[in-house]
Amino acid sequence: MLRLILAATVLFGSVDLGRGEEPVAGVVETFYQELDVNRIPQFVIQDISVPQQIHYQVRSAFEVYSPDTKGNFKAIQTVENTTLLQADALSQAVFTKSLAELKGSKFTFNFDRNHEVVSMEGHTAGPEVVEAKNANSISVLVSTVIDEDGWKELAQLTLFRPLDPNRPSATFVRKAVHDWGSLGSWYGKTIFTHAGTQRGISNFRYQHQLEYIKPDGPGDFPFEIQSPQFNAYEAGGAITFDAKAKRVLKVHERFRAKGSFTTAMLGIAAPVSIDEQQEFTINVSGYQRKPDQPASGKR
Protein backbone atom coordinates (compact mmCIF):
# COMPACT_ATOMS: atom_id res chain seq x y z
CA MET A 1 0.00 0.00 0.00
CA LEU A 2 1.98 2.93 -1.25
CA ARG A 3 -0.42 5.76 -0.46
CA LEU A 4 -3.89 6.67 -1.58
CA ILE A 5 -4.09 9.42 -4.18
CA LEU A 6 -6.89 11.91 -3.67
CA ALA A 7 -8.16 13.98 -6.54
CA ALA A 8 -11.44 15.75 -6.39
CA THR A 9 -13.40 18.11 -8.47
CA VAL A 10 -14.99 20.40 -5.74
CA LEU A 11 -14.71 19.56 -4.03
CA PHE A 12 -12.45 17.90 -3.49
CA GLY A 13 2.81 8.13 -2.01
CA SER A 14 23.44 7.69 -5.00
CA VAL A 15 25.50 4.99 -3.96
CA ASP A 16 27.61 4.01 -6.94
CA LEU A 17 28.09 0.27 -6.92
CA GLY A 18 30.39 0.46 -9.89
CA ARG A 19 33.08 -2.10 -10.34
CA GLY A 20 36.56 -1.57 -8.97
CA GLU A 21 35.71 0.77 -6.08
CA GLU A 22 36.68 0.18 -2.47
CA PRO A 23 33.86 -1.38 -0.43
CA VAL A 24 32.38 0.61 2.44
CA ALA A 25 33.45 -0.67 5.87
CA GLY A 26 30.89 -3.01 7.38
CA VAL A 27 28.99 -3.56 4.12
CA VAL A 28 28.49 -7.25 3.39
CA GLU A 29 26.00 -7.09 0.49
CA THR A 30 25.18 -4.68 -2.31
CA PHE A 31 22.51 -4.83 -4.99
CA TYR A 32 20.10 -2.76 -7.08
CA GLN A 33 16.36 -2.54 -6.60
CA GLU A 34 14.19 -1.77 -9.62
CA LEU A 35 10.70 -0.69 -8.54
CA ASP A 36 7.78 -0.40 -10.97
CA VAL A 37 4.55 1.15 -9.63
CA ASN A 38 1.20 1.39 -11.39
CA ARG A 39 -1.64 3.15 -9.58
CA ILE A 40 -5.21 3.48 -10.89
CA PRO A 41 -7.50 5.39 -8.55
CA GLN A 42 -11.08 5.95 -9.70
CA PHE A 43 -13.16 8.64 -8.01
CA VAL A 44 -16.82 9.53 -8.23
CA ILE A 45 -17.63 12.94 -6.75
CA GLN A 46 -21.25 14.10 -6.90
CA ASP A 47 -21.86 11.65 -9.76
CA ILE A 48 -18.84 12.97 -11.67
CA SER A 49 -16.25 10.30 -12.54
CA VAL A 50 -12.59 11.31 -12.10
CA PRO A 51 -10.31 8.50 -13.38
CA GLN A 52 -6.54 8.63 -12.91
CA GLN A 53 -3.53 6.50 -13.80
CA ILE A 54 0.04 7.02 -12.61
CA HIS A 55 2.88 4.72 -13.67
CA TYR A 56 6.46 5.31 -12.55
CA GLN A 57 9.76 3.55 -11.84
CA VAL A 58 12.40 4.05 -9.15
CA ARG A 59 15.92 2.61 -9.28
CA SER A 60 17.86 2.37 -6.02
CA ALA A 61 21.19 1.04 -4.77
CA PHE A 62 21.23 -0.93 -1.49
CA GLU A 63 24.07 -1.49 0.95
CA VAL A 64 23.47 -4.10 3.65
CA TYR A 65 25.65 -4.00 6.75
CA SER A 66 26.98 -6.80 8.91
CA PRO A 67 24.62 -7.89 11.72
CA ASP A 68 25.42 -7.35 15.36
CA THR A 69 25.63 -10.15 17.93
CA LYS A 70 21.82 -10.21 18.21
CA GLY A 71 21.31 -10.46 14.46
CA ASN A 72 20.10 -6.87 14.05
CA PHE A 73 21.44 -5.04 11.02
CA LYS A 74 20.94 -1.95 8.89
CA ALA A 75 20.50 -1.33 5.19
CA ILE A 76 20.98 1.95 3.33
CA GLN A 77 18.94 2.68 0.21
CA THR A 78 19.97 5.45 -2.17
CA VAL A 79 17.60 6.49 -4.97
CA GLU A 80 19.63 6.79 -8.16
CA ASN A 81 17.00 7.42 -10.83
CA THR A 82 13.26 7.91 -11.28
CA THR A 83 11.07 7.79 -14.38
CA LEU A 84 7.47 8.90 -14.84
CA LEU A 85 6.00 6.67 -17.55
CA GLN A 86 2.40 7.82 -17.45
CA ALA A 87 0.27 10.34 -15.58
CA ASP A 88 -3.12 11.94 -16.05
CA ALA A 89 -3.29 15.70 -16.55
CA LEU A 90 -3.93 16.53 -12.87
CA SER A 91 -1.12 14.27 -11.62
CA GLN A 92 1.50 15.12 -14.25
CA ALA A 93 3.02 18.19 -12.61
CA VAL A 94 2.95 16.78 -9.07
CA PHE A 95 4.63 13.49 -9.93
CA THR A 96 7.17 15.06 -12.28
CA LYS A 97 8.28 17.34 -9.45
CA SER A 98 8.13 14.71 -6.68
CA LEU A 99 10.03 12.09 -8.64
CA ALA A 100 12.73 14.59 -9.61
CA GLU A 101 13.16 15.61 -5.96
CA LEU A 102 13.36 11.95 -4.91
CA LYS A 103 16.64 11.40 -6.80
CA GLY A 104 19.57 11.21 -4.44
CA SER A 105 17.43 10.51 -1.38
CA LYS A 106 19.06 8.21 1.16
CA PHE A 107 17.11 6.07 3.62
CA THR A 108 18.49 4.00 6.48
CA PHE A 109 16.45 0.97 7.60
CA ASN A 110 17.11 -0.84 10.85
CA PHE A 111 16.13 -4.52 10.77
CA ASP A 112 15.76 -7.06 13.54
CA ARG A 113 17.09 -10.61 13.30
CA ASN A 114 13.86 -11.73 11.59
CA HIS A 115 14.36 -9.22 8.76
CA GLU A 116 11.53 -6.98 9.91
CA VAL A 117 12.02 -3.21 9.70
CA VAL A 118 11.91 -1.68 13.18
CA SER A 119 12.76 1.92 12.22
CA MET A 120 13.59 4.17 9.28
CA GLU A 121 15.66 7.35 9.00
CA GLY A 122 15.90 9.89 6.22
CA HIS A 123 12.29 10.23 5.05
CA THR A 124 11.21 13.87 5.10
CA ALA A 125 8.89 14.35 2.11
CA GLY A 126 5.26 15.02 2.93
CA PRO A 127 2.23 14.88 0.67
CA GLU A 128 2.10 17.29 -2.27
CA VAL A 129 -1.02 19.44 -2.52
CA VAL A 130 -2.01 21.06 -5.80
CA GLU A 131 -5.17 23.13 -6.27
CA ALA A 132 -6.62 24.05 -9.64
CA LYS A 133 -9.64 26.31 -10.13
CA ASN A 134 -11.97 26.91 -13.03
CA ALA A 135 -15.36 28.53 -13.46
CA ASN A 136 -17.31 25.56 -12.13
CA SER A 137 -15.10 23.72 -9.69
CA ILE A 138 -12.05 23.44 -7.51
CA SER A 139 -9.76 20.48 -8.09
CA VAL A 140 -7.34 19.27 -5.44
CA LEU A 141 -4.68 16.58 -5.71
CA VAL A 142 -3.10 15.30 -2.51
CA SER A 143 -0.47 12.64 -3.06
CA THR A 144 3.03 11.36 -2.44
CA VAL A 145 5.20 9.06 -4.55
CA ILE A 146 5.72 6.63 -1.64
CA ASP A 147 4.99 7.40 2.01
CA GLU A 148 7.16 6.31 4.92
CA ASP A 149 5.25 3.10 5.65
CA GLY A 150 5.41 2.29 1.95
CA TRP A 151 9.21 2.59 1.91
CA LYS A 152 9.41 0.33 4.96
CA GLU A 153 7.19 -2.31 3.35
CA LEU A 154 9.20 -2.26 0.13
CA ALA A 155 12.53 -2.59 1.97
CA GLN A 156 11.20 -5.44 4.10
CA LEU A 157 9.96 -7.33 1.05
CA THR A 158 13.24 -6.72 -0.78
CA LEU A 159 15.20 -8.24 2.14
CA PHE A 160 12.62 -10.93 2.88
CA ARG A 161 13.76 -14.16 4.55
CA PRO A 162 11.64 -17.12 5.74
CA LEU A 163 11.04 -16.75 9.46
CA ASP A 164 12.64 -20.12 10.25
CA PRO A 165 15.60 -20.83 7.91
CA ASN A 166 15.57 -24.46 9.03
CA ARG A 167 11.91 -24.84 7.99
CA PRO A 168 11.54 -22.60 4.92
CA SER A 169 8.30 -24.30 3.90
CA ALA A 170 6.54 -23.38 7.16
CA THR A 171 3.71 -20.83 7.02
CA PHE A 172 4.32 -17.80 9.22
CA VAL A 173 2.58 -14.55 10.16
CA ARG A 174 3.81 -11.00 10.60
CA LYS A 175 2.04 -7.90 11.86
CA ALA A 176 0.91 -5.46 9.15
CA VAL A 177 0.44 -1.75 9.82
CA HIS A 178 0.07 1.11 7.36
CA ASP A 179 -0.72 4.69 8.26
CA TRP A 180 -2.95 6.42 5.70
CA GLY A 181 -2.50 9.79 7.33
CA SER A 182 -5.65 11.91 7.28
CA LEU A 183 -7.67 9.00 5.92
CA GLY A 184 -6.93 6.65 8.84
CA SER A 185 -4.89 3.45 9.06
CA TRP A 186 -4.78 -0.22 8.16
CA TYR A 187 -3.99 -2.80 10.84
CA GLY A 188 -3.82 -6.56 10.65
CA LYS A 189 -1.46 -9.35 9.68
CA THR A 190 0.36 -10.78 6.68
CA ILE A 191 0.38 -14.54 6.15
CA PHE A 192 3.35 -16.00 4.21
CA THR A 193 3.00 -19.42 2.60
CA HIS A 194 5.65 -21.47 0.82
CA ALA A 195 4.45 -22.34 -2.69
CA GLY A 196 7.17 -24.78 -3.68
CA THR A 197 10.83 -24.91 -4.67
CA GLN A 198 12.26 -25.91 -8.05
CA ARG A 199 15.96 -25.94 -8.96
CA GLY A 200 16.85 -23.88 -5.90
CA ILE A 201 14.22 -21.18 -6.53
CA SER A 202 11.50 -20.92 -3.89
CA ASN A 203 8.15 -19.23 -4.37
CA PHE A 204 6.23 -17.65 -1.54
CA ARG A 205 2.72 -16.24 -1.51
CA TYR A 206 1.59 -13.67 1.02
CA GLN A 207 -1.80 -12.28 1.93
CA HIS A 208 -2.55 -9.11 3.90
CA GLN A 209 -5.57 -9.44 6.19
CA LEU A 210 -6.36 -5.84 7.06
CA GLU A 211 -8.88 -3.87 9.04
CA TYR A 212 -9.49 -0.21 8.31
CA ILE A 213 -9.31 2.17 11.29
CA LYS A 214 -10.86 5.63 10.98
CA PRO A 215 -8.70 8.69 11.76
CA ASP A 216 -8.95 9.92 15.34
CA GLY A 217 -8.71 13.62 14.55
CA PRO A 218 -8.38 16.29 11.84
CA GLY A 219 -5.68 15.65 9.29
CA ASP A 220 -3.44 17.72 7.04
CA PHE A 221 -5.67 17.81 3.96
CA PRO A 222 -6.94 21.22 2.75
CA PHE A 223 -10.47 19.91 3.27
CA GLU A 224 -12.37 18.05 5.95
CA ILE A 225 -12.86 14.28 5.77
CA GLN A 226 -16.13 13.03 7.20
CA SER A 227 -17.44 9.48 7.77
CA PRO A 228 -14.68 7.53 5.95
CA GLN A 229 -15.29 3.84 5.29
CA PHE A 230 -12.91 1.52 3.43
CA ASN A 231 -12.46 -2.19 2.76
CA ALA A 232 -9.50 -4.01 1.20
CA TYR A 233 -10.71 -6.41 -1.50
CA GLU A 234 -7.34 -7.59 -2.77
CA ALA A 235 -4.11 -7.34 -0.80
CA GLY A 236 -1.25 -9.71 -1.38
CA GLY A 237 1.53 -10.85 -3.62
CA ALA A 238 4.27 -13.29 -4.54
CA ILE A 239 7.98 -13.49 -3.80
CA THR A 240 10.57 -15.30 -5.94
CA PHE A 241 13.44 -16.30 -3.64
CA ASP A 242 16.86 -17.79 -4.36
CA ALA A 243 17.01 -20.41 -1.61
CA LYS A 244 20.72 -21.13 -2.02
CA ALA A 245 21.91 -17.51 -2.07
CA LYS A 246 19.22 -16.50 0.45
CA ARG A 247 18.05 -13.44 -1.43
CA VAL A 248 14.96 -12.11 -3.14
CA LEU A 249 14.87 -12.05 -6.93
CA LYS A 250 11.41 -10.56 -7.52
CA VAL A 251 8.30 -9.37 -5.69
CA HIS A 252 4.90 -8.63 -7.21
CA GLU A 253 1.98 -7.23 -5.22
CA ARG A 254 -1.56 -6.05 -5.91
CA PHE A 255 -3.70 -3.95 -3.59
CA ARG A 256 -7.29 -2.85 -4.13
CA ALA A 257 -9.49 -0.94 -1.72
CA LYS A 258 -12.93 0.59 -2.10
CA GLY A 259 -14.53 3.14 0.12
CA SER A 260 -16.35 6.39 0.56
CA PHE A 261 -16.36 9.56 2.60
CA THR A 262 -17.71 13.09 2.51
CA THR A 263 -15.56 16.14 1.94
CA ALA A 264 -16.24 19.62 3.22
CA MET A 265 -14.39 22.43 1.46
CA LEU A 266 -15.22 26.13 1.28
CA GLY A 267 -18.52 25.36 2.95
CA ILE A 268 -19.48 22.80 0.31
CA ALA A 269 -20.05 19.15 1.25
CA ALA A 270 -19.71 16.42 -1.36
CA PRO A 271 -19.90 12.61 -1.21
CA VAL A 272 -16.87 10.82 -2.66
CA SER A 273 -16.50 7.14 -3.56
CA ILE A 274 -13.13 5.59 -4.39
CA ASP A 275 -11.90 2.44 -6.09
CA GLU A 276 -8.14 2.47 -5.51
CA GLN A 277 -5.94 -0.06 -7.33
CA GLN A 278 -2.19 -0.34 -6.89
CA GLU A 279 0.28 -2.79 -8.37
CA PHE A 280 4.04 -2.87 -7.92
CA THR A 281 6.94 -5.08 -8.96
CA ILE A 282 10.39 -5.24 -7.38
CA ASN A 283 13.31 -6.73 -9.31
CA VAL A 284 16.68 -7.25 -7.60
CA SER A 285 19.84 -7.28 -9.72
CA GLY A 286 23.61 -6.70 -9.56
CA TYR A 287 23.86 -8.62 -6.32
CA GLN A 288 27.34 -8.80 -4.80
CA ARG A 289 28.53 -10.22 -1.50
CA LYS A 290 31.77 -9.22 0.13
CA PRO A 291 34.14 -12.21 0.04
CA ASP A 292 34.10 -14.49 3.08
CA GLN A 293 30.97 -12.85 4.48
CA PRO A 294 27.63 -14.53 5.34
CA ALA A 295 24.32 -13.34 3.97
CA SER A 296 22.77 -10.42 5.86
CA GLY A 297 21.13 -11.31 9.12
CA LYS A 298 22.09 -14.97 8.74
CA ARG A 299 21.27 -16.86 11.92
What is the pLDDT at residue 6? 41
What is the pLDDT at residue 5? 39
What is the pLDDT at residue 299? 46
What is the pLDDT at residue 298? 52
Domains in the chain, number:
1
Domain annotation covers residue 297: no
39-65 per-residue burial string, b: 16 or more CB within 10 A, e: under 16: bbbebebbeeebebebbbbbbbbbbbb
The region of weakest confidence among 123-127, 189-193, 248-252, 267-271 is 123-127
Judged against a pLDDT cut of 70, whether residue 141 lies above it is answered with no
Q: Pick from 107, 106, 87: which is nearest to 97 by CA?
A: 87
What is the pLDDT at residue 7? 38
pTM: 0.85
Judged against a pLDDT cut of 70, whether residue 142 lies above it is answered with no
Domain annotation covers residue 113: yes
Residue 22 burial (CB < 10 Å; 0-12/13-18/19+)? exposed
Judged against a pLDDT cut of 70, whether residue 188 lies above it is answered with yes
* C-beta neighbour count of 221 within 10 angstroms: 19
Judged against a pLDDT cut of 60, whether residue 131 lies above it is answered with no
Domain annotation covers residue 295: no
Judged against a pLDDT cut of 60, whether residue 3 lies above it is answered with no
User: Is residue 21 within 8 Å of residue 57, measured between CB atoms?
Assistant: no
Cα dihedral: 186, 191, 196, 200 (round 10)? 70
Quote the strand ranges of the chain, DSSP E: 6-9, 27-45, 48-51, 54-65, 73-87, 106-111, 117-121, 128-133, 138-143, 172-179, 185-198, 201-213, 224-242, 247-265, 268-289
Average pLDDT over all residues of the chain: 83
Alpha-carbon gap, residue 82 to 79, rounded angstroms: 8
Domain annotation covers residue 1: no
Q: What separation in angstroms does the CA of 41 have from each of 103, 231, 253?
A: 25, 14, 16
127-139 per-residue burial string, b: 16 or more CB within 10 A, e: under 16: bbeeeeeeeebbb
pLDDT in tens, 143-180: 678 889 999 999 999 999 998 877 878 899 999 988 88
Domain annotation covers residue 266: yes
CATH code, domain with 40 = 2.30.230
What is the pLDDT at residue 135? 45
Domain annotation covers residue 75: yes
Q: 182 pLDDT band (50/70/90 cuts)?
A: confident
The region of weakest confidence among 34-43, 126-135, 241-250, 266-275 is 126-135
What is the pLDDT at residue 137? 52
The residue among 298 and 115 whose pLDDT is bigger is 115
The residue among 225 and 274 whose pLDDT is bigger is 274
pLDDT in tens, 18-34: 444 445 569 999 999 99
Domain residues for the domain of 249 are: 6-289
